[in-house]
A = this chain, B = another copy of it.
Amino acid sequence: MSIHSNTELTAINEVERRTEKFHAILRAAAHVFARSGYFNARVSEVARAAGVADGTVYLYFRNKDDLLRSIFSTSMQNFLRQARAQLEVIDDPCERLRRFARLHFEALEDNRDMAIVFQVELRQSSKFMEEFSTTQLAEYLLIIREAVEEGQRRGLIRNQLSSKLVAKFLFGALDEMATNWVLSHKQYSLSAMTEPVMDLFFNGVCSTDGVA
């Protein structure tokens, strides 16, 4: 005895099929964009890689732009959801920042296609850049700011610092590490850089007794 009627089941399968195809095309697009670069990538290549007809791509995405946009927002939403879940159980805000940095690096290490799209292809034009800076990236930066501000309240982080500036500073440093890792042909671990980078972030470069 089923808890679903036949019609309900059909509807559910329908939705699942759509979702699967949506993600198959998205994965294919990330792969092709990473290999050829967004502008040199052909939509028909994406379609072939996804195992669908050219026209089918356009049943799921408005246009080629939309593919790039969707790669970013889908992954970013995923990342942020998981990150929030993992971070909320960590009490120490400095530890939270360390974990966040590690999650950032691990996410990129986990999917090199996505990493290339994120670190390179997405930066191609102010059109995309502005759009992303003002939406999804803002939430990313907010997570950092919140931790920084809590650290300030607890006396762990210098009070006179602008949390906004600190957030950009950290993001910039992490982003540069990531871009370097993506462009480098040597195979090294990105997440292994978490500790040294966060050490610089927390303690600066100066000797304890140095005067900068």
Shortest distance in angstroms between A194's beta carbon and chain B's nearest beta carbon? 12
- Count A interface residues, CB 8 Å: 57
Q: Max chain B CB contacts within 10 Å: which of A116, A161, A212?
A: A212
CB-CB nearest in chain B for A198 = B212
Q: Max chain B CB contacts within 10 Å: which of A121, A175, A176?
A: A176
Q: Please tell me which stretch of A5-13, A16-24, A122-130 contacts chain B, meaning at least 4 of its Cβ atoms lie within 8 angstroms of it.
A: A122-130
CB-CB nearest in chain B for A211 = B156
Q: 0/1 per residue, A156-169, Cβ < 8 Å to B?
A: 11110110011011
Enumerate A37-77 residues with CB–CB distance to B below 8 Å.
37-40
Whole-angstrom CA separation of A158 from B40 in the bound complex: 45
Q: Max chain B CB contacts within 10 Å: which of A197, A202, A203, A205?
A: A205
Q: Which of B130, B165, B210 contacts A183 (CB 8 A)?
A: B130
A174-B172, A196-B165, A206-B157 known; A125-B124 Cβ under 8 A: yes
B207 touches A156 (CB 8 A): yes
A121-B125, A172-B173, A173-B169 known; A204-B202 Cβ under 8 A: yes
Enumerate A165-188 residues with CB–CB distance to B below 8 Å.
165-166, 168-169, 171-177, 179-180, 182-183
Q: Which residues of B contact A126 (CB under 8 A)?
A: 37, 116, 120, 182-183
A39 touches B180 (CB 8 A): no
CB-CB nearest in chain B for A39 = B39
A206 touches B212 (CB 8 A): no
